[in-house]
Amino acid sequence: MKVFLQKHTNYLIFLLVLLFLISLKIINPSFIKSVSYLSFDLYQKVFAQKKDSEVVIIDIDEESLGKFGQFPWNRNVFAKILDQLNTSNPKAIGFDIFFTEKDKQSPDEIIKSYDLIPSDVAELQKLKGPDEIFSEKLKESKSIIAVLGSNVPSHSNYDRKAKARFLSKGGDPKQFTYSYPYSIGSLEILEKDVKGLGSISFLDQLDGIIRSLPLIVQFNKKLYPTMGLEMVRVGSNQKNIYVELNEVGINRISARPYKISSDPNGIIWIKYKKSDKKQYISAGDVYDGKFQSDFFKDKYVLIGASAQGLFDLVKTPLGVTVPGVEVHANVIENILDQSYLIRNPNTYIFELLFSIIVALITFILSQKIKPKYSLSIFFGNLLAIIIIGFSIYKFRSELIDMSYPIFIVTITFLTGLYFRFIEENKIALDNLQKEAKLLKERELAAGVQKSLFPDISKFENFIFAKNVPARDVSGDYFDVVRATPEEYFFTLADVSGKGVKAGMYMAKASSIFRTLTNLKFPLEKVVFGVNNELVEAKFKGMFVTAVFGKLNIKTGELVFINAGHESILTFDQNKNYEYIKSEMPPIGIVKYFTESMVKSNTMNLKDKTFVVYTDGVTEGYLKNGEELGAEGVQKIIDGMSDVTPKTIVESIEKELNWGAEKLRDDITCMAININNTELIKKK
């Protein structure tokens, strides 16, 4: 038994991992649901299309707000919109807005607002208020008003009842529907004579995307249809909504002649089409009658808001944000053409079994065949999952979770690779031996590189620089060349990349710099030559950020060029700091055709200190784990009493090279100050 376990340990661990992943799917916590939603949303994004619709949306847009003013508008506006609509004989008119308070321009509200005495304005009281006029227009039309589920009572609430009559078969739908203790709606005077009350309640989603909604819900223990279903019922001149149940819950909901299959809680998954501006018409245009006479004929009309300030915007699986009223429009279209999506409970079992089978095949083959072939099996399985998912969605409008099976197969494959790696540790040991050989080569390269750095000890009174490599081979470089007794060329550079290749690139740059400065060329010509030689060197993808300079210690004149490097720090005797940013790109990238492409700057260095460093200084870690930064360099200098090039560089190096096992990057820094230009004689 012990021998068997040792021989098949990898298979036993794999089975435990697989069991854990399947258990997660069965429990289905919120983060696992979010994984499934990835594929559900992808289906819709891939197959989304525009299509003609029987739904028209009257849009409370920015233009309408400009016409009628601040929302909510006077109810007479909506009354006239209904008058205009009724001339076209639409199938149903739904309001995706609430009228929870009395119109502010009603006689009662005017008397209250101006504190008038009722007896003095008896004639005003006889006038019909906007709410009464609007109520009459609602009564004359096939209108539906929105209601919303709430967990707190509304101050203007009353004991409202649904307009639809529910008939059920096979059980009580109230046992399976989502329930709210209260509802929010419009004034009783407006709701009493409308043809329908439709719920606009959405289910809470962790990511805020509206993928599904309940066709029927409970408000205060009474059943209400969703807005889309109620619109279809009224448009079809039906009084009843039929609910069929089976042993697990709700099975089908009907508003003749339309039958909709739902999940056990009465929920459908919405299939979205691409937004179409032709489906919208501005409320102001409807008010003014600016539409063709048959525009609304036999159409389902929704009135809702897209204006930003009204905050009725929601996210959809298509990855776009749309007005909430467009969601209800999609629901109506789904019911009319039976295009809603299906999430069959039995599919869930199929997904689990399929995931287990594919995971077993992937793992077993990963242990039996070569890794390069097992990779083909892995991607083949992924492709099979994707094809099955998209095919079932395309031809059956059914949602199959691709994401979690892909996740399981990926974990399985990685587990198999891990055990394969353990079994092939001999190859790993060979690689370690090769690494040891490469390490020796790097150490040799490091020794060669150190010999390239110049000995500037005799200049340290006025020029001092230091390089501390983070690894065997540094990608940083500095050099100082004495051209005449008064003139000195210098550079500090940082090569992109790490390792031996960077060191070789740096070595080439240094040799070119020394050759050209020894010829006493102007600084611009030196940089011109270094750049073009590096471009010709064809070190693919590599470049150098650098500061070049030419200093006259007698006159104090300093000509310098910053080629894509860190900002140069200068300060005077009072420690007033100034940063000089780069005006040129790094060298070694683009060939220069004339020396005029090299931009230099000139400054006088008398009574000033010039400090330049690589990003290994500003991005280096302090003992407290924070980066030094440019402010940290200033702080170091501020704390110094004896400010010389040598003390500046050594203080910065000491602050960063505090004993960590590995430096984050090479530390390279140079400081120049000509207060003391005496050369130091070697002993």
Close Cβ partners of 270 (under 8 Å, ≥ 6 residues apart)? 210, 211, 212, 213, 327, 330, 331, 334, 340, 341
Residues of 290-303 as b/e, b for ≥16 C-beta within 10 angstroms? ebeeebbeebbbbb
Q: CA 53 to CA 333: how far, in whole Å?
A: 7
Distance of alpha carbon 540 from alpha carbon 535, whole angstroms? 9
State which H helix or E strand residue 225 sits in.
Answer: strand 222-225
Count of Cβ atoms closer than 10 Å to residue 81 Cβ: 21
Cα–Cα distance measured from residue 490 to residue 670, given in angstroms and rounded to the nearest whole number = 10
CA–CA distance, 156 with 161 (Å, rounded to integer) = 15
Written as six digits, the tokens of 242 are 């039929």
pLDDT at 376: 84
Question: What's the pLDDT at 352?
Answer: 87
Tokens in use for 31?
A: 């983060």
Residue 231's pLDDT is 96
CA–CA separation, 85 and 142 (whole Å)? 10
Task: With residue 631 as reference, give the H or E element that holds it.
Answer: helix 629-638
Helix or strand or coil: residue 337?
Answer: helix
Distance between CA 387 and CA 382 in Å, rounded? 9
Q: Give alpha helix (H) positions in 338-424.
A: 345-368, 371-396, 403-423
Instruction: Report the distance separating Cα 269 and Cα 26, nearest Å.
Output: 21
**By the 8 A CB rule, do 527 and 561 touch?**
yes
Residues comprising the chain, all counted: 683
- CA 335 to mean position of chain CA atoms: 33
Question: What is each CA distance from 574 to 505, 580, 606, 637, in whole angstroms?
Answer: 40, 18, 13, 11
C-alpha 595/C-alpha 535 separation (Å) is 15
C-alpha closest to that of 215 among 270, 272, 267: 267
Instruction: Count Cβ atoms within 10 A of the Cβ of residue 332 and give its class: 0-12 exposed, 13-18 middle, 19 or more buried.
Output: buried
Class of domain 453-672 as given by CATH:
alpha beta
DSSP string, 256-315: TTEEEE--TTSEEE--PPPP-GGGEEEHHHHHTT-S-TTTTTT-EEEEEE--GGG--EEE
With b for 16 or more beta-carbon neighbours within 10 A and e for fewer, the 343-362 pattern comes to beeebeeebbebbbebbeeb
**Geometric angle at alpha carbon 228, from 222 and 230, rounded to 5°:** 45
- Transcribe 133-199 into DSSP letters: HHHHHHHHTTEEEEEEEESS--TT------SSEEEEESS-GGGTS-EESEEE---HHHHTT-SEEEE
pLDDT digits (tens, 9 = 90+) for 557-613: 999 999 999 999 999 999 999 999 998 999 998 999 998 899 999 999 998 999 999
Residue with tokens 């860190």: 566
The low-confidence residues of the chain, meaning pLDDT below 70, are: 1-8, 106-127, 155-156, 425-428, 438-451, 472, 499, 538, 683
Helix pair angle (523-537, 499-518), 10° resolution: 140
Number of neighbouring beta carbons within 10 Å of residue 650: 15
Phi/psi for 115 (5° steps) reads: 55, 45
Structure tokens at 141: 């039309």
Which pLDDT belongs to residue 413? 85
Please give the pLDDT value at position 8: 67
Rounded to whole angstroms, the Cα distance separating 97 from 73 reads 11
- Degrees, nearest 5: CA angle 381-387-391: 150
For 501, other C-beta atoms within 10 Å of its C-beta total 17
User: Which token pair is 237?
Assistant: 């001149």
CA gap 368, 501 in Å, rounded: 39
Question: Pairing mode, if any, of strands 487-495 and 476-482?
Answer: antiparallel
Do strands 313-315 and 321-323 pair parallel, antiparallel, or not at all (unpaired)?
antiparallel
Q: Are 224 and 179 in contact (CB under 8 A)?
A: no
What does 475-530 look like in DSSP terms, one character per residue?
A: SEEEEEEE-SSSEEEEEEEEESS-HHHHHHHHHHHHHHHHHHHHTT--HHHHHHHH
